Amino acid sequence: MAVKRRDLIRGGASVAAGLAAGGLPSGPSSAQAPQPPIRWDGEADVVVIGSGASGLSAAIVAREAGSTVIVVEAEKDIGGHAICSGGNVPLGGGTSVQKKYGIADSPDLLFRDLTDWSVVEPNGFADYRYNDREIIRAFADNSAACFEWLLAHGVIFVDKAPDARGGNSVGNSVPREMHAAVMRWPMVQTGQPADPSIQAVLSSGNGLMRPLEAAARKAGVEILLEHRMTAIHRQAPHSGPALGIAVSNDGATRNIRARKAVIIATGGSSGNVNFRRMIDPRLGEEYCGLAGMPWSNQDASGELAAMAIGASLWGLANQAAEFGYSVTKAGYIGCQYGYRNLQWMPGSTVFARARASGLRVADWQNVILVNMLGQRFYDETAEQFTANDYNSIDPYVQGSWRNVKSVTYDPHNFLNAALAGIGDGRNGGGPIWAIFDADAAARAKWDPRPPHVDIDGGFFFSAPTLAELAGKIVMKYQRVPMPPANLEATVARYNSFVESGVDEDFAKPKPLYKIAKPPFYAGWATPVPHDTRAGLRINGKCQVFDMNGEVIPSLYCGGESAGGFSLHGLARAACQGFIAGTNANAEKRRA
């Protein structure tokens, strides 16, 4: 019998397993005592944690195959980071759309693309070298089938040939990127449907997730919103199968039994400061504008709960390697959530938490960027990490050492300069501020007032003089006062570069505009953590491994909570959900 919301709110046993445990016991696992009996408040064959692209895909597949399914979601609505995305879905291997447009692809070609050691970025980092071959083989073999499955479950893609738009490490040989059309679904960014004239051509994560939600509910999947998973129950602390989960809802904690399997689809770890700093020590708390927040957080809850019962991490190099969208340059300034491909508008259901939509920067000549000390640190027009996509390397021969000859080596990058800090011996670059004047606001057509900027949250400041502006920059993450003389000197020197036409410090291409007309402004422009490419160790069936290299029975994982796969985004999540749901359903039902 499925768990009911009213049952979860009533009294019941507390959870024995905590998230603080970790690692394996010193003695043999066979010597471990079983867990005390757990009082179950509800049950299903398959319990899925998270309702993003991986979670809902897994839930639908398992339910349609005959299993009863409960999905628990921590937030007030479904979708996770997937629904906030651009809806770009690079599934290939010979899809019907690839065939329609004469694109010759196959599972073998896709596999070789995503395991090609020879592909490197201009900074020398490799997109595919550290991918787990078994995981990639499973993705390649199921990619086309997953695409057709999405079509059959109501996802409508923009009617055009596959391309490379929005792709990150999707393979060089052929185009595979498809785009989920938003259609009539209200967009989470605005709370409203898109203009009818562009609904069939505008790509959005809403166009992927709302059809999957409808398919899940139609199939009979039970979705419990505002139910946060707090622990995964296992037969013994580090042995035996996963038995179910503990959830918290409205102040009460209850236990949901999984008669077949538990699937982790919690969406990654980039929003958990201490977790992400295990991989990159620079990413301190000041990187607080995680892409996808405040709709959903990537809080590492799935990874931590699995590690507490012995699970292993995998493929951390794919997160630390400097390629793709693991961290991005801000695209909107003056707001906390400045991810370049997502703008929160006042009609959104989460706008009260977002607080501002931000000022979109189309031309970085309109601002200078300074660190906490009020000093420039790099060319403002410079870009972020790159990634391999279709035709990025030309000519290209899979696995050939000659591919590197088609790449111009360039180790420099805006993000590394921004994250370098101020030389105070602390990790983390601290806040980055965009400094501009009244003329820049007029040129860019910016309205530097709420709800466009977040004054109350401390992410935007203005003043009649530069010295006063520096003195006003006081907020949680500004760990040192900005010296007014520094900011005045920085702007004066930059203005001299505008006069001479040469940036003698950072080679910004022909600085165009002086910063001279009051009022003066400082807008939050700190880099943004985006997606997760490291997580739990899984195999081709999406089963989770422990630290001894053994499968944890009845525990599965897919999407950004799983490691071993450098591919960015929705295709990895949807396909691994497709695989995990299939295999979880095939588990033997426990009495």
**Alpha carbons 320 and 282: distance in angstroms, whole number:** 11
Task: Tell whether the model's pLDDT for residue 158 goes beyond 90.
Answer: yes
What percent of the chain is modeled with pLDDT above 70? 94
Q: How confident is the model over 346-369, as a mean pLDDT?
A: 98
- Higher per-residue pLDDT: 11 or 72: 72
Q: How confident is the model over 371-399, as a mean pLDDT?
A: 97
| 419-477 pLDDT, tens digit each | 999 999 999 999 999 999 999 999 999 999 999 999 999 999 999 999 999 999 999 99
pLDDT of residue 6: 39
**CB–CB of 374/479 below 8 Å?**
no
**CB–CB of 498/509 below 8 Å?**
no
Task: Tell whether the model's pLDDT for residue 18 goes beyond 80.
Answer: no
pLDDT of residue 518: 98
Task: Tell whether the model's pLDDT for residue 579 goes beyond 60.
Answer: yes
* Domains of the chain, start order: 41-83+206-321+530-585 (3.50.50.60), 88-179 (no CATH), 330-382+433-524 (3.90.700.10)
| Prediction pTM value | 0.94
Number of H helices, E strands in the chain: 16, 20
What's the Cα-to-Cα distance from 378 to each of 334, 453, 509, rounded to whole Å?
19, 24, 12
Q: What are phi and psi of 557, to 5 degrees?
A: -155, 145
- Token pair 């959903």 is found at 296
302: left (phi over 0), alpha (psi -120 to 50) or beta: alpha
- Higher per-residue pLDDT: 253 or 22: 253
**CB–CB of 48/20 below 8 Å?**
no
**Alpha carbons 381 and 342: distance in angstroms, whole number:** 20
Task: Tell whether the model's pLDDT for residue 1 goes beyond 50.
Answer: no
Q: Which of 2-6, 65-69, 566-570 has the lowest mean pLDDT?
A: 2-6
| 177-202 pLDDT, tens digit each | 999 999 999 999 999 999 999 999 99
What residue type is assigned to position 42 of the chain?
A: G
Q: Which of 12-21, 94-103, 203-212, 382-391 has the lowest mean pLDDT?
A: 12-21
Within 13 A of 189's CA, how many CA atoms are on the CB side? 25
**CB–CB of 392/379 below 8 Å?**
no
Task: Tell whether the model's pLDDT for residue 382 goes beyond 50.
Answer: yes
| 497-522 pLDDT, tens digit each | 999 999 999 999 999 999 999 999 99
CA-closest candidate to residue 433, choices 466, 401, 407: 466
| 334-347 pLDDT, tens digit each | 999 999 999 999 99
Task: Tell whether the model's pLDDT for residue 169 goes beyond 80.
Answer: yes
Within 13 A of 161's CA, how many CA atoms are on the CB side? 10
Task: Tell whether the model's pLDDT for residue 36 goes beyond 70.
Answer: yes
Q: How confident is the model over 168-182, as a mean pLDDT?
A: 97
Task: Tell whether the model's pLDDT for residue 5 goes beyond 50.
Answer: no
Per DSSP, what are the bridge partners of residue 555? Answer: 262
Q: How confident is the model over 518-528, as a mean pLDDT?
A: 98
pLDDT of residue 379: 98
Q: pLDDT band at residue 26, thresholds of 50, 70 and 90? A: very low
Q: Which of 164-168, 226-230, 395-399, 574-578 has the lowest mean pLDDT?
A: 164-168
Q: pLDDT band at residue 17, thresholds of 50, 70 and 90? A: very low
**CB–CB of 99/175 below 8 Å?**
no
**Alpha carbons 206 and 180: distance in angstroms, whole number:** 8
**CB–CB of 289/339 below 8 Å?**
yes
Mean pLDDT of the chain: 94
What percent of the chain is modeled with pLDDT above 90? 93
What's the Cα-to-Cα distance from 167 to each of 129, 179, 293, 568, rounded to whole Å?
18, 11, 21, 7
pLDDT of residue 412: 83
pLDDT of residue 34: 62
- Higher per-residue pLDDT: 4 or 349: 349
Q: Is 229 exposed, middle or buried (0-12, 13-18, 19+ CB in 10 A)?
A: buried
Q: pLDDT band at residue 33, thresholds of 50, 70 and 90? A: low
Q: How confident is the model over 7-31, as a mean pLDDT?
A: 39
